[in-house]
Amino acid sequence: MIKRIAQTAGFSGLLAALVLTLLQSFWVAPLILEAETFEMPAPTQTHDHADSAMPAHSHDAEAWEPEDGWQRILSTTGGNLVVAVGFALMLAGLYTLRSPTRTSQGLLWGVAGYATFCLAPTLGLPPELPGTAAADLLQRQIWWVGTAASTAVAIALVVFGKHWALKVLGIVIVVIPHIMGAPQPLVHSSLAPEALESQFKIASQLTNFAFWLALGVISAWLFRRKPESQYGA
């Protein structure tokens, strides 16, 4: 069983990560690069700190960031691969509890994953371009995790709950984080134009939707490809 889960997660995560990276490279990344141009300060806006003991605006100590081109592509691919394999492990583990009888059922698992980890959290915390004001990072992370967890529980109750009360409970659970509200900055502002923000939000949602559909279908197909008896110990 462990080998079956590992093989399913490894291959499906790799293929889905490549799909996501391809879509991001041609659709999402250009929007981010365009938004970064609005972050560049004007050449005349300089500060005279020549006599100061410590430079006021030195970026030498900042964390390494990949350069545009192959470095950014490799960095994005590596990050996507780690995330995709992690999600694929989760799906493969769930398949051991409720195995898909048809490969097409992977689409439903993919939609559930998209709703849990993308759609529901972004209702309160939409994708942000560089230069966008945001609330405290820790508060956003806590709200994101809580929203994803409540959405997963809600979907399980609504889909698999046999009593109507469980389905109602699922609906109540899924709306609680949104009633509480996601943490927001004191002032909403963005350096990028509103039109660019809208394009980025749409591109992010559609690329993630495609990623989850691909991950669901590929993982379901690989999981059903060989019965458990054909896997070695």
**Alpha-carbon Rg for the chain in angstroms:** 21
Q: What is the pLDDT of residue 51?
A: 41
Number of domains making up the chain: 1
Give me the domain span that covers residue 29: 1-36+68-111+212-233
Asked, for residue 150, whether it belongs to a domain, the answer is no
Regions in the chain scoring below 50 on pLDDT: 44-61, 233
Q: What is the pLDDT of residue 138?
A: 96
Asked, for residue 130, whether it belongs to a domain, the answer is no
Q: Which of these, 45, 39, 26, 27, lies nearest to 65 by C-alpha position?
A: 39
Distances (CA, A) of 22 to 27, 42, 172, 178, 197: 9, 33, 38, 32, 21
Asked, for residue 222, whether it belongs to a domain, the answer is yes
CB 189 within 8 A of CB 86: no
Q: What is the pLDDT of residue 223?
A: 94
Q: What is the pLDDT of residue 2?
A: 87
Q: What is the pLDDT of residue 50?
A: 38
Asked, for residue 190, whether it belongs to a domain, the answer is no
Asked, for residue 153, whether it belongs to a domain, the answer is no
Asked, for residue 126, whether it belongs to a domain, the answer is no
Asked, for residue 82, whether it belongs to a domain, the answer is yes
Q: What is the pLDDT of residue 44?
A: 47
Q: How far apart are CA 140 and CA 25, in angstroms?
A: 26
Asked, for residue 17, whether it belongs to a domain, the answer is yes
Q: How far apart are CA 93 and CA 70, in angstroms?
A: 34
Q: What is the pLDDT of residue 222?
A: 94
Which class for 174: exposed (0-12), middle (13-18), buried (19 or more C-beta within 10 A)? buried
